[in-house]
Amino acid sequence: MKYYDKLILELSKPGRTGYSLRQNDSCTTDALASLPEWGKRKTDVCLPEVSEVDVVRHYTNLSQMNFGVDTGFYPLGSCTMKYNPKINEEIAAMPEFQSIHPLQDKNTLEGIRAIFDEMDHALAAITGMSHFTFLPCAGAHGELTGLMIMRSYHMSRGDLKRTKVIVPDSAHGTNPASAAVCGLEIVEVKSGENGLVDVESLRPLLDDTVAGIMMTNPNTLGLFEREIKQIAELVHEAGGLLYYDGANMNPLLGVVRPGDMGFDIMHLNLHKTFSTPHGGGGPGSGPVGVCEKLVPFLGVRVSGYNGNFPVILRAYTYILMLGRQHIKQAGRLATLNANYIKESLRDAYKLPIDSVCKHEFVFDGLKEREGENHDELPTTLDVAKRLLDYGFHAPTIYFPLLFHQSLMIEPTETESLETLDDFIRVMHLIADEAHTQPELLRTAPHNCPISRPDETTAARNPKLRYE
Amino acid sequence: MMENNHFQYFPHTEADIQTMLRKIGVGSTDELYQDVPAEYIYKGEYNLSDAKSEQEVRDFFKSLAEKNLSLKCFVGQGAYDHYTPAVIPYITQRSEFLTAYTPYQCEISQGTLRYIFEFQSMICNLTGLDVSNASMYDGPTAAAEAMRMLLGCARKKNTVLLSATLLPHVVEVVKTYAKFYGTNIQMIDAKDGQTSRESLEALMQSGDVAGAIVPLVNRYGIIENLEGFADALHAGKALLATYCDPSTLAVLRTPAEWNADVAVGEGQSLGVPLGYGGAYVGFMACRSEFMRKLPGRIVGEATDAEGRRCYVLTLQAREQHIRREKATSNICSNESLVALWVTVYLSLMGPQGLKEVNRQSSEGAHYLYDELLKTGKFQPVFDAPFLKEFVLKPLVDIEALQLHLQQKGFFAALATEDGYVSFCVTEKRTKAEIDALVAAIKEM
């Protein structure tokens, strides 16, 4: 990767154009000239004036400062950066689908209706839920939608005092944030020493003001919540509902169905579990599934039209490729890969909870050697930045918040033994460097397009646009 | 017990699996699920179809695609059939952009960060406002976020006003968010197809209004005259948020020129295909004083250790991964790649191209308007300026009209809630196509 300095607006030259519009097809005299004066823009908009080749070179250069799943191993915990199959892209780009207006009469769209119906059936089969809505555009949007459904259910019964939702301290940050946007009060439940939701801490929180609980299972430590059966019984007995955060669904793909564990509502991240590309931060898709009794509440209008259709097309393509033959391997291989890395690196990195993991696991920074102080070793940030030098994306860092030096690793099932071994070798190398040449880590990265930026100054004196 | 079924996305050979199981110290992958109560391990056959090959998948979707009626589009209502330059998919399909996650590791994400910074800059230039975020899911959710932002900027107020002339799906989504967030939504009446200032001023009397969301171009295609709106709101310590179609901002008076505090809208009109409604991209911009109230990702300029210019996610103290329930929003993944799409579009079109798009669309729309009235099958409804979209009152049965047009290959004359029909023309529609639509209507 090489450093490239330009912004597209800096390439601008007055009079240069990059567009192609027809020249003569004039229907009337200039309609813009007849706009009322009060409605006209006062000054010309400042946009780039560049040629087509300028645009292509500029964005190609920008792309070369970026790292994607196609570039290399991307063990970003809780993000499920699995390989994005190319057939998905071909199907999503079919002009027959791209050209349809969202408000076109559904009676004329038998093919599209079939895709939504079949996708609904497939996700129901995979998750054990009854039906799904495809309107949510991302995981957090799905959470919000699911909580709206939860509240709608209670409201429909006149049970208006259920305004609290229980969220474990290990939950993704979006859980409490979605609950707040949904007008719910958040009650945090602590994890026990074993990293799991502590049933005894949960029990006293349950009363008739609780709308439900948001669970991530396996949780963000990659640990399966073994007490889920008892938790489901307790919450249901108290009149609450169980929400499943599908961000961590991947290890259960083809192994366990959330619906069977007693969950009433869930979302899936199609851009995680179902192989659609993340696009540098979307578009994703967060369909929400519910159990039978909540189906009447599924129609909540949370986005403009029909959801992120091309993402749904990609995910459906992936499900068709997997079929019933391969689905049973997906979660198992993801779990196998994660446990293999964990067992291979536990000599060099601190494993705070020694347990079989699912698709991901968390180290609490480097392991100190004899005579060393853990606090004086290079940090998780330093390890992450040094990994970039060796051509790997970094794991998720400083999350979950349960440990000070969290380093959360999720390999996914699409990585080979050779890739994992290479990553393990480099992680050992970095651990050695940490003990012998700690400055090398603290000043990393050394061979990326840029070195560490001064983020504090950037936040203190924000420059958020080109002027 | 697992076996390798030769699936191209799973690289494990049987020998690999055995090597890994030995390292872990278990006999099978099933043993890795020993912490899962046995009753939850799904033992049945998944009710899915047989695994398909790529060619089978192609044929399958081809056959489904043929079961949709392909129609020439003369409808807008928030989704516009503008032209997409060939360069855009070529760039957005580059896997370095496509297969990257949110740019958490800035040292290897300068590509993503830089185009987001460019996107923010262009949204600021289009709206005239100071600060933009990195994108929202779509226009309607951006409006819903604007509702929450208006409340966040006000002190102890709980009412947000929505113009009755906003697109119906925008009103619906905002009301959904409001219902659960506990916000009091009051509708500003429409008068002659436009937001009524008298109604706005009357609603301000409650003293509980945090702000109003008003369209620049409304559900009838009318360009609204917002003279006095900002003053009326500001006088009551409330803010003005405008809902806009960014494509039209190349020629229309901007949110900043109307003295608005916030601008939101649907970015789809900037060259994004109709795609049955997604993936689109919402945007949100505001005056700098409200910068720290903005939801979502924001990219800022920084310098690296060598003093080189670079870009980072900034002002993250607003966001869910730091603030959890106190965040300005729950948004995490947004519509980054569609923001790139829009950024490349705006780069190619430039100020002249975007103006030309508006000119051609508007000329086509005015021509269609006149020709439709000549058929004697419609009456004018409003006497107000419009660009590419308008409504008429049909003098024929709406359903019969629509069915007839479908059979002739057109999607046009969309029925509105108030008994009108809506038409839209973009630069993609030729005079010959417009004439064909009018001829089809005459036949009826």
CB atoms B64 and A454 under 8 Å: no
Residues of B in contact with A458 (CB under 8 A): 300-302, 312, 314
Instruction: Indicate the class that CATH gives domain A86-322.
Output: alpha beta
Same domain, B391 and B266: no
CB atoms B7 and A326 under 8 Å: yes
Torsion region of A291: left, alpha or beta (phi above 0 gives left; psi -120 to 50 gives alpha): beta
Give the gap in angstroms from C-alpha B336 to the nearest C-alpha of chain A.
5
Given a contact cutoff of 8 angstroms between Cβ atoms, the answer to whether B186 and B200 are in contact is: no
CB atoms A108 and B71 under 8 Å: yes
Same domain, B231 and B289: yes
Same domain, B362 and B316: no
Task: Point out which residues pair with A244 in neighbouring strands.
Answer: A215, A266
pLDDT higher than 80, residue B71: yes
> Within a domain: residue B26?
yes
Q: How far apart are CA A125 and CA A104, in angstroms?
A: 29
Given a contact cutoff of 8 angstroms between Cβ atoms, the answer to whether B299 and B117 are in contact is: yes
pLDDT higher than 70, residue A28: no
Give the gap in angstroms from C-alpha A348 to the nearest C-alpha of chain B.
16
3-state SS string for B359-398: HHHHHHHHHHHHHHHHCCCEEECCCCCECCEEEEEECCCH
Which of A100, A118, A257 has the most B C-beta neighbours within 10 Å, making it the best mutation to test the interface with B?
A100
Give the gap in angstroms from C-alpha A432 to the nearest C-alpha of chain B.
22
Which of A25, A57, A66 has the most B C-beta neighbours within 10 Å, making it the best mutation to test the interface with B?
A66
Mean pLDDT for B155-178 is 97
pLDDT higher than 80, residue B70: yes
Q: Determine the residue type at A87.
A: I
pLDDT band at B6 (very low <50, low <70, confident <90, very high): confident
Give the gap in angstroms from C-alpha B413 to the nearest C-alpha of chain A.
11
Q: How far apart are CA A223 and CA A358, in angstroms?
A: 6
Same domain, B331 and B397: no
CB atoms A38 and B278 under 8 Å: no
Q: How far apart are CA A222 and CA B434, in angstroms?
A: 59
Q: How far apart are CA B203 and CA B159, in angstroms?
A: 10
Mean pLDDT for A374-382 is 94
Q: How far apart are CA A460 and CA A446, in angstroms?
A: 26
User: How is A14-82 classified by DSSP, letter by letter?
Assistant: TT-------S----SS-TTTTS-GGGB-SS--------HHHHHHHHHHHHTTB--TTTS---BTTS---
The DSSP call for residue B416 is P
> Within a domain: residue B60?
no
Residues of A in contact with B141 (CB under 8 A): 137, 141, 302-304
Residue of A94, A325, A455 lying closest to B65 (CB–CB): A94
Same domain, B318 and B368: no
Can you give the pLDDT at residue A25? 65
Chain B within 8 Å of A23 (Cβ-Cβ)?
Answer: no
Give the gap in angstroms from C-alpha A372 to the nearest C-alpha of chain B.
28
CB atoms B325 and A176 under 8 Å: yes
pLDDT higher than 50, residue A206: yes
Given a contact cutoff of 8 angstroms between Cβ atoms, the answer to whether A415 and B130 are in contact is: no
Mean pLDDT for A250-275 is 98
pLDDT higher than 90, residue B62: yes
Mean pLDDT for A409-413 is 98
Residue of B107, B315, B406 lying closest to A449 (CB–CB): B107
CATH number at residue B306: 3.40.640.10
Mean pLDDT for A415-426 is 98
Per the structure, the count of domains in chain B is: 3
> Exposure of B397 by Cβ count < 10 A (0-12 exposed, 13-18 middle, 19+ buried)?
exposed
Mean pLDDT for A171-179 is 94
Backbone angles phi, psi at A354, to 5 degrees: -90, 100
CATH number at residue B403: 3.90.1150.10
pTM over 0.95: yes
Mean pLDDT for A254-279 is 98
Q: Comparing A27-31, A132-136, B142-146, B407-411, which segment has the lowest mean pLDDT?
A: A27-31
Same domain, B77 and B100: no
Same domain, B40 and B79: no
pLDDT higher than 90, residue A33: no
* Closest to B122 measured CA to CA, from B344, B282, B297, B343: B343
Q: What percent of the residues of chain B are helix, what percent strand, and what percent coil, each to the nearest 5?
A: 45, 20, 40
Can you give the pLDDT at residue A394? 98
Q: What is the pLDDT of residues B334-381, one digit of tens each?
A: 999 999 999 999 999 999 999 999 999 999 999 999 999 999 999 999
Residues of B in contact with A305 (CB under 8 A): 79, 138, 169, 276-278, 280
pLDDT band at B155 (very low <50, low <70, confident <90, very high): confident
Residue of A83, A108, A179 lying closest to B69 (CB–CB): A108
Q: What is the pLDDT of residues A218-241, one digit of tens each?
A: 999 999 999 999 999 999 999 999
Given a contact cutoff of 8 angstroms between Cβ atoms, the answer to whether B246 and B273 are in contact is: no
CB atoms B302 and A89 under 8 Å: no
CATH of A329-442, one of 3.40.50.720, 3.90.700.10, 3.90.1150.10, 3.40.50.970: 3.90.1150.10
Q: What is the pLDDT of residues A60-95, one digit of tens each?
A: 999 999 999 999 999 999 999 999 999 999 999 999
Would you tell me how many other CB atoms lie within 10 Å of the CB of residue B269?
27
Residue whose structure tokens are 């008003």: B214
pLDDT band at B2 (very low <50, low <70, confident <90, very high): very low
CB atoms B108 and A66 under 8 Å: yes
Q: Which segments of B131-254 does DSSP mark as H helices, in order? A: 139-153, 168-181, 197-204, 229-235
Residue whose structure tokens are 């409504």: B391
Chain A / chain B CB contacts < 8 angstroms: 681
Mean pLDDT for B396-422 is 96
Mean pLDDT in chain B? 96
Mean pLDDT for A394-408 is 95
pLDDT band at A24 (very low <50, low <70, confident <90, very high): low
Residue of A87, A326, A466 lying closest to B5 (CB–CB): A326
Which residue, B281, B311, B344, sits at the end of a domain? B344
Q: Determine the residue type at A67.
A: F
Chain B within 8 Å of A265 (Cβ-Cβ)?
Answer: no
pLDDT higher than 90, residue A437: yes
Same domain, B203 and B259: yes
Same domain, B42 and B98: no
Can you give the pLDDT at residue B5? 63
Calculate what percentage of chain B has a pLDDT beyond 90: 95
pLDDT band at A23 (very low <50, low <70, confident <90, very high): confident
Q: Which two tokens stand for residue B286?
A: 């505001």
* Closest to A187 measured CA to CA, from A203, A196, B4: A203
Residue of B96, B108, B312 lying closest to A393 (CB–CB): B108
Supply angle C-alpha B290, B292, B297, rounded to 5: 115
pLDDT higher than 70, residue A27: no
Q: How far apart are CA B420 and CA B418, in angstroms?
A: 6
Same domain, B289 and B383: no
Residue of B23, B97, B181 lying closest to A340 (CB–CB): B23
Chain B within 8 Å of A106 (Cβ-Cβ)?
Answer: no
> Within a domain: residue B303?
yes
Residue of A18, A224, A452 lying closest to B35 (CB–CB): A224
- Please state the domain extents for chain A: 1-65, 86-322, 329-442
Range of the domain at B35: 14-55
**H or E, element range at B61:** helix B54-65
Q: How far apart are CA A166 and CA A326, in angstroms?
A: 36
